[in-house]
Structures are given as structure tokens and as C-alpha cells.
Structure 1
Amino acid sequence: MKLKGQHLLSSAQFDIDTLNYLYNLIDILVPVARGQLQTDILHGAVMGSLFFEASTRTRLSFDAAFMRLGGSVSNTTGVSFSSIVKGESLEDTARVIGGYFDVLVVRHQEEQAIYDIATATNCPLINGGNGAGEHPTQALLDMYTLNAEFKRMDKQINGSTIAMVGDLRHGRTVHSLMRLLSLYKNITFNLVAPNFLSMPDKFIQLAGDLGHTIIQTENLQEGIKAADMIYATRVQKERFAEAGDYVYSDAFRINAAMINTYCKKDMVIMHPLPRDAREGANDLSSDLNADTRLAIFRQSDAGVPTRMALFATILGVDKDIAKSLRQSSWFTPKYSGPQDAPWYKMRS
């Protein structure tokens, strides 16, 4: 695989063949991620996790992925940890710390920083989110989830209608996802957002140049009614200088009544999480939790095996995983969550 020994900084590094290869590898790793099978394929390897920006689920997902492969993890969170507060450059920090580990996972609040860090080390680096830029591992797990959901419904990603709703300007997950979806054919992108949160032009141009249809609207009902998949994302309040800068209408709130009124039965609802579940929040409503079209927890469950697949591929052990697997001796639940059973019964 061309990812072996490479940094993973952008979704632009993937092509269709790589995606399909990784989907298959993720399938193999799902029971390992759930603890049903074990592997020590990365025994002795150490991953360094540098999160300059707050994270819980992404950081833990990367950690669990590496440890499920038999590796060890060293974690550092928050800029206060770093010699940067003493005046050291990012490049110096990267060069030194890169010498400690076999792979680095880095999240930084500034878009350019991830590239500056990558140029200073030969240690493979995975972008865990760079400001409002990209989030390539999230996009891969999103595509894996979408592919699995569509396969269950005998649908194709080619020719589908994808509605992206919310903060499309600052949401790095939708930026990376639009790149990956653009690798397919004849996608209709319904980009639903107020003007001040609209998708950056470079991603619209990329999709347009590849022959996809782009529709930008502020009308949520129009944007979702033909959708095969809705991808909702929260307003990235941390990207605004002032609280008053992100006034966001409840016209963009997605709830059960709206989905049942306007959407098809054979569609999927996704969200990168976390969602703002507080009453009155203009995000994806928790009243959809019992709807089998809601895939957000199946989506989040895909995070660990997806990142396992990337670690294995980047470190060059992907071809050896299948023969390294063995049964676990401890108890593992059949489903990750108490509301999962109806979907798995429906799938079978």
C-alpha cells in the first residue's frame, strides 16, 4: 500500500482502490476492536499522541486502536505540556518527539501546524484534526459506515444524494468527507447551511470539477427530502472569536418529526459527534435515537477498527493481520449499546 511509512495529513491522499482495500481490512478488524479476537501484531511499537486541542473520543479511539493491535501509547494533551510555552518552535518539538515513537497522532487548532510538524519528522504522522481544515480518519470511518449502510439497503454511493447540514465552513469532518465522496461518480451534494457557515469554495470547486452536482440552500426541508444520507454537524463555536458571531437558527434543527415528514425510508442519518443534545440546541435531536435510520453509534463504533486499519497499513503489517488473530478469553457483549439489537436483527 502506498500509505506505508507515510504521513496521513489529508483525505486527498486516498483513492478509490485504497478506500476499498481499507473497507475490507476494517471488516477483518471489527471483531478485534470489539474484543472478540486479539492480535499482537504491533507488540513493541509505541504511538505518541500529541493533542494541542481538547479531545476525548478521538484521542481515546486512537489509543484503543493502537493498543488493540498490541502496541503501547504515550499521551500528551494541551499546550501547557509543551516546551512550546518555553519558546520552542513546533518544528523543534516535532523533531525531538518524533524520535521517541513509531507513529505520531497530532491534533492542532491551527490548520497549517500539522504540515509544519510533518515536515520536521520522518516518524509517520496522522492528522487527528487540524483546526477548521481536515479530519481524514473521521472521513474514512464515515465512508466505511456509509458503504456498509448502503450495502445493507442494496444502494450504491455512486449516483446518491448527500445532504450536508450545519456548520460547513468550520466543520473539518465535512471537508474531508466531501473529498472522499468526490472520488465516486454522479453525487448530488445538497449543502444546507446559512451563508455565513457555507462550505468553502475549494471543496465545492473540487466536487464540481469532478462532475458532481452542487446545490447550496438555506432551506432544510428542501435539502433533505431527496437525500440518501444526511450528514449533520454542530456549529463549531470554538472557531468563533465572539459568541454573538454564531447565531444559528432553529430552522436547521433535525428531529424525528422532520425526518418522518420529509425523508425517505431507505436513507441514513449520520453525525461526527459530539452532538449538542440539550433542549433547544440546534443540532441532531435525540428523539431520533430509536430510528434505525440513525447510524451515529454504528458510525462511532467504526472509529477504532478504522484507525486500527490505518495504523496497520502505515506501519506495514496489514498483510499479516489475518493470520495473527486468536480468540479472546474474556466476555464481550454482543452489541455495543442497548439500542443496537433492532438494527442488527434488521441487517440479518
Structure 2
Amino acid sequence: MTAPDLDQSRPNGSLHPYGEGELFGKGKHLLSVSQFDRPTLVDLFTLADTVAPIAQRQLGRGDRQLATGQTVCSVLDGAVLGSLFFEPSTRTRLSFESAFLRLGGEVTTTTGFTFSSMAKGESIEDTSRVVSGYSDVLVVRHPDEGSVAQFAAASVVPVINAGDGAGEHPSQALLDLYTLEKELGQRGGTVDGSTIAVVGDLRHGRTVHSLLKLLTVYRDVSVRLFAPESLELPDETARHLTSAGHRLTVCDTVVEALRGADAVYTTRVQRERITGEVPASIQGNLIDRSVLAEADALDIVIMHPLPRDSRHDAYDLSSDVDDLPGLAIFHQTDNGVNVRMAIFLTALGCSPEMVRVTTKQRPWDATLHWNR
């Protein structure tokens, strides 16, 4: 494995912090979806396809034949991931850590501020410089927008943004679009030229912000938005879409947003980020079977970044849609592992050929894994 390119003119040989227009690649931080153009995205998704048998322990969804050959990889043997989650996470943290482990690496982790020296007043910069000295790559989640960029500026290894407050969540957007390409492709469609409904908390949902920004690398996309009052999409994110030539329609109801859409992306209300009273309009289910039926959208591709709030009147995606053919929320979580494997491989400069020559037959019984 080739070491990341370091800027020897900076203290301690640290990497250039992310700058406007810098594409994601070998030795680069991943802080924003703005670091992707169409070729860069295609390369990452191709690499994600390459490692899918390792990530999923099988040849592909819908095929009960388990992978019979090269499914255990050691390409990152000896590499160490520093996993720093200063905000609660289940899927993202475990997905990143599973991805690194399945590539043969090792993981050191800390969760929350209580078990960090930040509880003693240590700065982000000091924490980053110290921990990056123990690691080959860092994955960081922090509740404050812009904080992960601070980690990156002080780090001597690549930093991957796993969510910074209400800012961005680039790896989630990447796995969302990877999944959307797969789901629409199975129906003979493409993201180019598609109509996508995006509903829920569009103001605080960082997954929405990153997804919509990343859609700008596609062509002729129509986006239909619905959000309760005070939870509307920020103007800046809307401008990203319209400046790329996409059609943006703000709808008055969920049903209006769903009609004619190829897919719907639903987000929970980010109650932990709302100051003051929660709007009175947030009650009942945001999307359930009856809403989809009213919109003539029972066969639509249904996506959600999770977690889904399953409590009564949580104003989220109801579980009564879980048996519909277009439900893709668990395909998203499965795909997240191989997309994040591709992120690590890209940042650390590992080619598909390096993956191939370090992959071998697994020694354990894979029949325990069921068809996804």
C-alpha cells in the first residue's frame, strides 16, 4: 500500500485540508460531496461493485448462490482506523468499522465526549494531531457543523466526515445514490432523467443536504420537495440543484410530492436539532401505505437513511410499507459497507488489482448468511 501524499511544507507533513474544487482521491480527506464529479463518482461505485462479494458475503441480492471463491480480503493488513464518534451513531459507526475490518485492517474507537480528552478541555486540533498519529485514517462524527474540517486541518492522515451537525454526511449520500442507481437500474431506469420525491425534515437533515448536492453530477433530474412549516430545505441547498439545471418543485402535501415520482427519500424529524417548540403539523405518519395508495405510488422505490422513528405519531416512515416491493431501506444499509470499503481503498491508494491479489477463500462456513 502506497502512503498518502503528504505536504512537507506544512507542520508535521500533514495533508492539505479540503479546499474548493479538490476531488476525492488518494491521500485526500473526504469532507463534502462537492469533492465528486461524475468520473470520480463512477470510479468509486465501480470499486464498490468490485468489493461487494467481500462486503456482502454473496454474489448479489436476489441470488441464493453464495460466493464460492475470493471473499476474505487482507489488503489493509496492518492499517489502523481511528473511529471517533462524538455524537450517537449505530449504523454509520458499525458500517465504517465493519468495512475496514473486512479489508483486513484494525480499528481503534471512542464514542462520546465523556471518554475523550475533550472532556478535559482539549482542543479539536490537539485531539486530531494526537489521534491521527496513532492511525492511518480517521472517521469522525461531531455534533458541530464544520468541526470535522477542523479535525482534517490538523490531521496527518486522511479524515472521513461521518456527519458534522446539520452540515453534511457524504458517505451516506454516496451509498444512497449507489443504492438508487441499483434500484432504478433493476427497473430499467437511471438516475439521469428520474423524478425523486424528498420529504420530511429538510432543514436539519444533513443526509438530505448531501444527497441533493451530489445529485448535481447527474443530468435532468426532477426533485419534488415536501417539508412541514419551518423545516423547509435551506436556500443554499436548493440553489445547488437549480444552478445545475435540475427542476425543483416545492409541494404542499406529501401526496403531491409522491405523484409521478420514481423514488422517495424520507427523513425523520431531527427533534434533537430543533430549538423551541416542535411544529404542531408534525403528527401521525409522514408516509404510510394509505398515503402511497392515494398518490398511486405503491410500487415506488422507498428510501430512508435510518434510524426510523417507530414510535406512535413520530411523523416518519411507517412500518406498514415494509412488505412493498420497492422498499430499499435495508438495501441501503447493506450497500453502505461496500461503499465505505471503496472510500477507504480510495483514500489509502489501493487499486482493484491490489484487492484481487490479497483476497482468498474464506475458511469459515458462509451458509449462515441468508439472502439479502
Q: What TM-score, normalized by structure 2, do the two folds share?
A: 0.87
Q: Which runs of 4+ in 1 moved over 4 A?
A: 333-337
- Once the two structures are superposed, what CA deviation does each residue of 1:87-114 show, in whole Å capped at 9, x if it has no partner? 2211111111111100000000000211
Q: Report the CA distance between 1:252 and its aligned residue.
A: 5.9
Q: Which amino acid aligns with 2:118?
A: I
Are positions 1:136 and 2:167 aligned together?
no
Q: Which one of 289, 292, 307 corresponds to residue 259 of structure 1?
A: 292
The whole-number CA distance in structure 2 between the counterparts of 1:2 and 1:194 is 35
- Aligned positions of 1:20-35 closer than 5 A: 20-35=42-57
Of all paired residues, the percent bearing the same amino acid is 48
The whole-number CA distance in structure 1 between the counterparts of 2:193 and 2:50 is 28
- Aligned positions of 1:1-348 closer than 5 A: 2-35=24-57, 36=67, 37-242=71-276, 244-250=277-283, 253-264=286-297, 267-319=300-352, 320-333=354-367, 336=370, 340=372
Change over 3 Å in CA distance of 1:77–1:336 after alignment to 2: farther
Check conservation: 2:129, 2:154, Cα contact below 8 A.
yes
Q: Which amino acid aligns with 1:42?
A: L
Q: Report the CA distance between 1:335 and its aligned residue.
A: 6.2
Aligned pair count reads: 337
SS in 1 for 2:178: helix
* Structure 1, 264-273 or 167-176: larger mean CA deviation: 264-273
- Once the two structures are superposed, what CA deviation does each residue of 1:32-64 show, in whole Å capped at 9, x if it has no partner? 112351100000000001111111111111110
Q: Report the CA distance between 1:248 and its aligned residue.
A: 4.2
Runs (5+) with no aligned partner, structure 2? 1-22, 58-66
The whole-number CA distance in structure 1 between the counterparts of 2:40 and 2:240 is 19
Runs (5+) with no aligned partner, structure 1? 341-348
The whole-number CA distance in structure 2 between the counterparts of 1:336 and 1:175 is 34
Check conservation: 1:165, 1:252, Cα contact below 8 A.
no
- Once the two structures are superposed, what CA deviation does each residue of 1:307-346 show, in whole Å capped at 9, x if it has no partner? 0010011101133113322222323358657xx5xxxxxx
Q: Report the CA distance between 1:287 and its aligned residue.
A: 0.8
Check conservation: 2:196, 2:261, Cα contact below 8 A.
yes
Check conservation: 1:47, 1:74, Cα contact below 8 A.
yes
The structure with more helix, counted as a fraction of residues? 1
Q: Report the CA distance between 1:77 and its aligned residue.
A: 0.3
SS in 2 for 1:127: strand
* Structure 1, 66-75 or 195-204: larger mean CA deviation: 195-204
* Structure 1, 325-334 or 223-232: larger mean CA deviation: 325-334
Check conservation: 2:201, 2:269, Cα contact below 8 A.
yes
The whole-number CA distance in structure 1 between the counterparts of 2:366 and 2:46 is 23
Q: Which amino acid aligns with 1:154?
A: G
* Structure 1, 83-92 or 46-55: larger mean CA deviation: 83-92
- Once the two structures are superposed, what CA deviation does each residue of 1:238-261 show, in whole Å capped at 9, x if it has no partner? 11234x235443476111122133
Q: What TM-score, normalized by structure 1, do the two folds share?
A: 0.92
* Structure 1, 321-330 or 269-278: larger mean CA deviation: 321-330
Check conservation: 1:220, 1:251, Cα contact below 8 A.
no
* Structure 1, 320-329 or 140-149: larger mean CA deviation: 320-329
Q: Which amino acid aligns with 1:268?
A: V
- Once the two structures are superposed, what CA deviation does each residue of 1:149-179 show, in whole Å capped at 9, x if it has no partner? 1111111211111110000000000111001
SS in 1 for 2:230: helix
